[in-house]
Amino acid sequence: MVDSIRSSLPPIYSHLFDAFFDRPKIVEPRATCEKCAMCDHGQASPVAMEFFNSETKCCTFWPILPNYLVGAILADPSPEMAEGKRRLEAIIDKRVGVTAWHVTRPRKMSLLMGGYSEVFGRAKSLLCPFYDASNPAGTCSIWRHREVICMTYYCKYEGGVRGYEYWTALKDYLVHVQRALAQNAARSVDSNVVEPKLKPGTLTLEDMEDLPPKASDYASWWGPWVGREKEFYLKCHEWVQRVSPKDFAKNVDQTKEGAASLRALIAKYELLQSKTLPNSLIRNARMKEVHVGDKVVVTSYHRFDSFALDKDLFEVVGLLKADQTLEENLARLKRDEGIELAPELIEYLFAAGVLVEPAKPKAAADGVAPDVAADLRARRAALGAVIDARGIEVDEATRGKIAEADAAKLETWIKRAAVARSIDEVVND
Ligand code: SF4
Ligand code: SF4
């Protein structure tokens, strides 16, 4: 029997979550964490790869642990939590990032993480304090009670773009849950504790020097809990354990934000499971492409999930037209080009974000028939996206030409842009 979503989440949520969470969990076998799919194992690759550091994997991230999960770790008597608990207690004793709502990253680290996308997975200086490198697989020392980002991050998705959207929707829902529970727990344990309001993007001398906050500031936040923070976190955990499913539904799931995010989550799950295709599909004009010999390496919806397509296939899917249904497109390719695309291949290319639904027409432009205006806008947007993806510079005069071009010309330019290296190769006849 397949495990449920509920069983894959930290145990604190088990008694609280809606019946939706009893559905089968989504498994991501392509994210092979023990033998990290993003690290260099000598695997073949058509282009040079920026592998993750095997000493960090994707854990170049400092989690923000809500108070009740901090309490869950501290209260967990199991031997596998001992190391995580020891590390967490050391952070709490240091008083850096220790507040009534969370045990969070140092503010200096938050600033660094604001611009670290290029070194994600590689910078050892950003390694999570709970990452345990003492075993060859590199594991998380607080896994059972991990927070929302760590619960929902994957580098690769079996269901492709729809998988990515599902995990993003789960993250959005859990962010809402974490916030609501942490704030209510802190308030219920002691309504006089104060969450520090520090100006984002600024650092105090203490932040800069990796020191605890000034004793007077810390005391003004924590009051009588100074030195008893662990007891506070344990009480927050106990409080959440006592929340009834009815109260949780009323105060979390049925709030405006909670209802919207739960609805969106269920919709994304069902879409992922349904595997139904849109009525019409075209090649994604927003993919990044690298042409290498007879392969095209594409990056569609996720920067860590690039893959190589045969150039012939890449060009064939470029023949799909936005104004035809998928059925009509496939029949035309078979009739005119003698090419048959198997349904499984179409499904795979759609999941991978190589094929996407054409943009829906927007409102009418003055003086131009609505469908014509929408079509021109869509074609200009597609051309712009291909040009951007290929890193081609566009001068002002060419921008004017693009703004004036009709549908046929834009279509020709889109095709040329897919293989061009300069704007001249696109627009000069
Ligand atoms: S999710 Fe992280 S640890 Fe797992 S395979 Fe991907 S990068 Fe590696
Ligand atoms: S808490 Fe665990 S999963 Fe999350 S970043 Fe740290 S080591 Fe990785």
Q: Running along the chain, 429 residues long, what does each successive block of 10 average in pLDDT?
A: 91 97 96 92 79 93 97 97 97 97 93 85 94 82 96 93 95 96 98 90 92 96 98 98 97 95 97 91 92 90 87 94 94 94 93 89 55 78 76 76 84 78 77
**Residue 176 and residue 46 share a domain:** yes
- Residue 94 is predicted with a pLDDT of 97
**Residue 283 and residue 253 share a domain:** no
* Best probe residue, ligand 1, of 57, 164, 304 (max atoms within 8 Å of C-beta): 57
Query: Which residue owns the Cα nearest ligand 1 atom 4?
Result: 33
Which of 274, 295, 316 corresponds to the end of one domain? 274
- Token reading at 128: 């999570």
Q: How far apart are CA 426 and CA 414, in angstroms?
A: 8
Query: Which residue owns the Cα nearest ligand 1 atom 1?
Result: 154
**Residue 340 and residue 223 share a domain:** no
Q: What is the CATH number of the domain that holds 338?
A: 3.90.930
150 within ligand 1 shell (Cβ under 6 A): no
The set of residues, in sequence order, having a beta carbon less than 8 Å from that of 246 and lying 6+ positions away, is none
**Residue 371 and residue 309 share a domain:** no
> Nearest Cα to 165, choosing from 8, 345, 300, 59?
300
The bound ligand whose nearest atom lies closest to the alpha carbon of 33 is 1
* Best probe residue, ligand 1, of 40, 43, 58 (max atoms within 8 Å of C-beta): 58
Q: How far apart are CA 231 and CA 220, in angstroms?
A: 18
128 within ligand 2 shell (Cβ under 6 A): yes
**Residue 89 and residue 139 share a domain:** yes
**Residue 269 and residue 386 share a domain:** no
Query: Which residue owns the Cα nearest ligand 1 atom 2?
Result: 58
59 within ligand 2 shell (Cβ under 6 A): yes
65 within ligand 2 shell (Cβ under 6 A): no
146 within ligand 2 shell (Cβ under 6 A): yes
- Residue 405 is predicted with a pLDDT of 85
- Residue 144 is predicted with a pLDDT of 96
- Residue 134 is predicted with a pLDDT of 85
Taking the CA of residue 31 as reference, the ligand 1 atom at the shortest distance is 5
Dihedral of the CA atoms 200, 206, 208, 212 (nearest 10)?
-90
**Residue 20 and residue 136 share a domain:** yes
> What region, left, alpha or beta, does residue 290 occupy, with left being phi > 0 and alpha being psi -120 to 50 degrees?
beta
Structural domains in the chain (count): 3
* Best probe residue, ligand 1, of 27, 131, 155, 305 (max atoms within 8 Å of C-beta): 155
How many Cα atoms within 13 Å fall on the side-chain side of residue 125? 8
pTM of the model: 0.81
The bound ligand whose nearest atom lies closest to the alpha carbon of 146 is 2
What separation in Å is there between the alpha carbon of 34 and the centre of ligand 1? 8
Which of 335, 357, 379 corresponds to the end of one domain? 357
151 within ligand 1 shell (Cβ under 6 A): no
Q: How far apart are CA 242 and CA 244, in angstroms?
A: 6
Which of 357, 391, 409 corresponds to the end of one domain? 357
Query: Which residue owns the Cα nearest ligand 2 atom 8?
Result: 59
346 within ligand 1 shell (Cβ under 6 A): no
- Token reading at 166: 């599902």
- Residue 361 is predicted with a pLDDT of 61
Instruction: Compute how many other C-beta atoms are within 10 angstroms of the C-beta atom of residue 389.
Output: 18
What separation in Å is there between the alpha carbon of 137 and the centre of ligand 1? 11
What separation in Å is there between the alpha carbon of 69 and the centre of ligand 2? 13
120 within ligand 2 shell (Cβ under 6 A): no
**Residue 323 and residue 267 share a domain:** no
350 within ligand 1 shell (Cβ under 6 A): no
**Residue 236 and residue 210 share a domain:** yes
Q: Which domain holds residue 421?
A: 359-429
- Token reading at 213: 């906050």
**Residue 240 and residue 107 share a domain:** yes
What separation in Å is there between the alpha carbon of 51 and the centre of ligand 1? 11
**Residue 209 and residue 164 share a domain:** yes
**Residue 238 and residue 303 share a domain:** no
- Token reading at 168: 């993003």
Taking the CA of residue 57 as reference, the ligand 2 atom at the shortest distance is 8
Taking the CA of residue 52 as reference, the ligand 1 atom at the shortest distance is 7
52 within ligand 1 shell (Cβ under 6 A): yes
